[in-house]
A and B are shown apart, each in its own frame.
Chain A
Amino acid sequence: MTTLACKHVGFTYAGEEAAVLKDVSFSINEGEFVLLCGASGMGKTTLLRLIKRELCPAGQLAGTIFYGDKPLIDLPAAQAAAEIGMVFQHPDHQIVMDGCLQELAFGMENLGFSNHVMKRRIAETTAFLGIESWLSQDVQTLSGGQKQLLNLAAVLALRPKLLLLDEPTGMLDPIHARQFLDALKRINQDTEMTMIITEHRLEDVYPIASRVLILDQGSIGFDGSPIDSIQWMNAAGTTHRDWVPTVPAYALQLDPQLKSPPLTVNQGRRWLRKQINQLKEAPIELATAKAQVSKPFISIKRVHFGYHPEKGVFHHLHFQVSQFECVAIFGGNGSGKSTLLQIMAKLLKPKRGYVRYDKKRLQIGYIPQNPEAFFMHETVRDQIQAAVRSDEALLNDLVADFDLKQLYDRHPHDLSGGEMQKVALVTVLLQQPDVLLLDEPTKGVDPHTKKKMAKWMQYFIQKGRAIVCATHDIEFAAIVSTRCVLLFDRELVVSESPDVFFADNHYYTTVFARLTQGHDLNSAQLLKLKEMNHL
């Protein structure tokens, strides 16, 4: 049975000339898990909002959207609100009430459900998602991942038939994002609920999606199975090729003619085992990285810090950052990654110990966890141009490379999470500080942009500067970092070069390491495989 069908849908925002969507036609059957892809600004969010009737933006709509066999417009209001659910990107902004239980009940109260029905549905939904334990908590005490699960539960309690998800994990760290996507998978499999999701984390969505739609130039560029979509992306040019998830990307690099590339690590390892013989002939050219020794920019010695005296965040912490270094800080939520960055920036004062800079006027650039706090100007153009110190050429390069012209007239707060990160990074790069402190720089960033970010960050440290970034994004850190540190139990437990760090870890490691661990490959072969995914 068809759940949703779009017939020649086009849309132009009020006050704008160019249409965002030109001619979009597709139909989705009950129980399908549809991944909607496309570069930023291609109209993914617009399409979802047209389907979620209450949030339809102002503008000129062409064509018809059918829900079931009726046009969407003819659907009664209460039915439209309940049966088409939507989860947005920002976990905080969606929450209305101050208690979890109240938040779950909010939608049902709006639709006039009886008390008895509400109780049952809440009990059922929370048990299914395994979130009963924090139901009585205040919303503000939850982590971002928990908040997003709560938002999902609140929508699910209305028993939607069609669930729309607009970059739901854009603000979450990889571990919580995985957890969230796993929940979606289970719902889809257990209830046959139809889902349409837009996502950057293709690695994790690909194995669960049953169908992929790619928006390209205002219409559907590709419509088919995930495996076929990889072929399409691979053939469709660089912008799309960067979206191919890591495992199939490696496979396609080795064998571009591959018909059905592996999707998961498990499949990838099996595939690689067959390929080992081919790799054996790889030429041996070992490049040795030159170690740069210099005086540390920032040194932290014997630092103690804690928000509450009884449970400290740090205990006797040592840390240094030198020229030419890009340090990635890993650690679970609440292990103090952000705190460490703020201590380095001297925004927080340690209880004991000291933070020392190598010169008095060390310039520090800092992008906080919420990039909103970073923007001080009305438009992206002003924001970027105010940051230029002297280097106009750098400005032009950055703007061209990150394709910022199209965002120039937007207000920074109107951008999506990934776009905000992009603009914030460009701004600090233009300011040319000595040390750059980044807090989760790749949150919500699409793979294509991520690659560019990595390139510019490497360029930045080659100029004799340093970067410290707190991140959960292992793949990204493996490319940019020169050193990885792990915060655990109030201490800095490991500080190693990324190669050693990832080779030693089993779970907390890159897809590449998981693919190759335990295989009989020498270091030259490893290097060859690895370089393929480099820039």
Chain B
Amino acid sequence: MSSGFRALHPFVIFIYYSGAILLLLFMFHPAFIVVAMIVMCAVNVLYDGGRQLWRWKKMILITSLLFVGINIFTSQRGSHLLWQVGDHRITLEATLYGMMMAGTIFLVLALFVSYQQVLTMDQFFYLFARITPQWALLSALAIRFVPLMKLRLEEIQKVQHLQHRGSLKSWKLKIKEKMKRLEVLMTWSLEGGLQTAESMKARGYGTVKRRTAYTLYRWRISDFLYFVFLSVLFTLCIWGWIHGLGRLEIYPVMENGALSMYEWIVLGGYLTYLSFPIYVEIGADA
């Protein structure tokens, strides 16, 4: 696809993702999180029908349950009592907080999944190889790691499953085995990473001061306008955040969740910022 969001200057794309991750982490309010979840799902559907994100379903489900569960069972703070199990108080605050945490984790993951599909390695090097070649090399390897590691883990699991079919009875042994698998995965991936680094060195990475770029990314007026547009929206959201908008105070006393007029405006800006890829893409198609 060479039109739409991906066709923008890599700098704009990178700015979008950096801004988005900050906003996702800062805006801690159920309404904001729900809106963002819808938008992030839509962004993922736009690129590959959400297939990559769907692969993470098990992980997402487990971490979400873990966050909500741990929060409910460790925190008894809050005044809105939902349930009382023996001595333990399950409060609305703790439940809500756990759910919001889980939501944020999901959002960050969804953003990363779409980032991987949009910003190519080539664009990444274009942006960073000149400024900090060492750092760019390291992050490039790290980014490549994630999808490779998932494939490899599946393979290790298959083989090891056969090796121990039903022979590991106690959960202690099972956990030990699982840890072992992760260790194998790490060595395998590191070994591969090392060879990748060698292949880069063999082809002269870092020998010449000024690295050139094969693909020329032109900085067009539209890129500048998009940049200004994103900056304005980002500033609006951060301004709101500084003034306590888009944040739900839960502890010690939970605020009223209803949105004020200003908060609606900030939510509007937030929504517009996050859905940037969607309307750029649709605009390009039309």
Contact = CB atoms under 8 A, between A and B. Distances in A.
B196 A413 contact: no
B207 A110 contact: yes
A414 B160 CA distance: 20
Contacts of B209: 112
A112 B199 contact: no
A182 interface: no
A-B pairs, 7 with minimum CB distance: A81-B204, A105-B214, A107-B203, A93-B195, A102-B122, A94-B199, A110-B204
Listed residue (B195, B200, B212) with the most chain A CB atoms within 10 angstroms of its CB: B212
Interface stretch (A190-198, A303-311, A369-377): A369-377
A364 B162 contact: yes
Interface string A404-420: 00000001011000000
A370 B211 contact: no
Contacts of B202: 52, 54-55, 81, 85-86
A55 B198 contact: yes
Interface string B116-157: 000011100100010000000000100010000000100110
A277 interface: no
B239 interface: no
B199 A96 contact: yes
Given A112-B208, A376-B184, A101 B214 contact: yes
A78 B201 CA distance: 11
A407 to B, nearest CB: 16
A77 interface: yes
B196 A93 contact: yes
Contacts of B196: 93-96
Interface stretch (B61-69, B186-194, B268-276): B186-194
Contacts of B206: 110
A97 B129 CA distance: 13
A40 to B, nearest CB: 18
Contacts of B160: 373, 376
Contact of A414 (B158, B184, B191, B204): B191
B162 A110 contact: no
Given A96-B199, A414-B191, A102 B214 contact: yes
B211 A112 contact: yes
B219 to A, nearest CB: 16
Interface string A92-117: 11111111011001111111111100
Given A115-B212, A158-B204, 16 more contacts: A81-B203, A95-B196, A95-B199, A97-B122, A98-B120, A101-B214, A102-B215, A112-B212, A118-B212, A342-B158, A372-B184, A373-B152, A373-B188, A374-B159, A376-B160, A414-B191
A411 B214 contact: no
Given A55-B198, A366-B159, A112 B210 contact: yes
Contacts of B214: 101-102, 105, 108-109, 115, 118-119, 122
Nearest to A370: B155
12 contacts: A54-B202, A55-B202, A81-B207, A98-B121, A101-B214, A108-B212, A109-B212, A112-B210, A365-B162, A366-B159, A366-B162, A374-B159
Nearest to B200: A96
Nearest to A81: B204
Most chain A Cβ neighbours within 10 Å, of B121, B162, B200 = B162
Contacts of A22: none
Question: How many interface residues does chain B have, given as a range?
Answer: 35 or more
A82 B180 CA distance: 41
Contacts of A90: 192, 195
Contacts, number: 143
A155 interface: yes
A347 B192 CA distance: 26
A488 B256 CA distance: 67
A115 B200 contact: no
B192 A155 contact: no
Contacts of B121: 96-99, 102
A149 interface: no
Interface of B: 120-122, 125, 129, 140, 144, 152, 155-156, 158-163, 180-181, 184, 187-188, 191-192, 195-196, 198-216
B158 A106 contact: no
Contacts of A368: 155, 158-159
Contacts of A97: 120-122, 125
A463 B205 CA distance: 55
A373 B155 CA distance: 6
Nearest to B198: A55
A429 interface: no
A94 B120 contact: no
A134 interface: no
Given A115-B212, A376-B184, A106 B203 contact: yes
A375 B184 contact: yes
A154 B159 contact: no
Contacts of A108: 212, 214
A308 B90 CA distance: 46
A297 interface: no
A78 B207 contact: yes
A88 interface: yes
Contact of B203 (A155, A366, A372, A414): A155
Contact of B208 (A95, A110, A342): A110
A345 interface: yes
Nearest to B208: A112
A376 B191 CA distance: 15
Given A97-B121, A102-B120, A110-B208, A88 B155 contact: no
A120 B192 CA distance: 31
A111 B207 contact: yes
Given A347-B161, A373-B159, A55 B201 contact: yes
B52 to A, nearest CB: 13
B192 A92 contact: yes
A49 to B, nearest CB: 9
B188 A372 contact: yes
B107 to A, nearest CB: 24
Given A105-B214, A109-B212, A110-B211, A347 B158 contact: yes
Contacts of B180: 376
A198 to B, nearest CB: 16
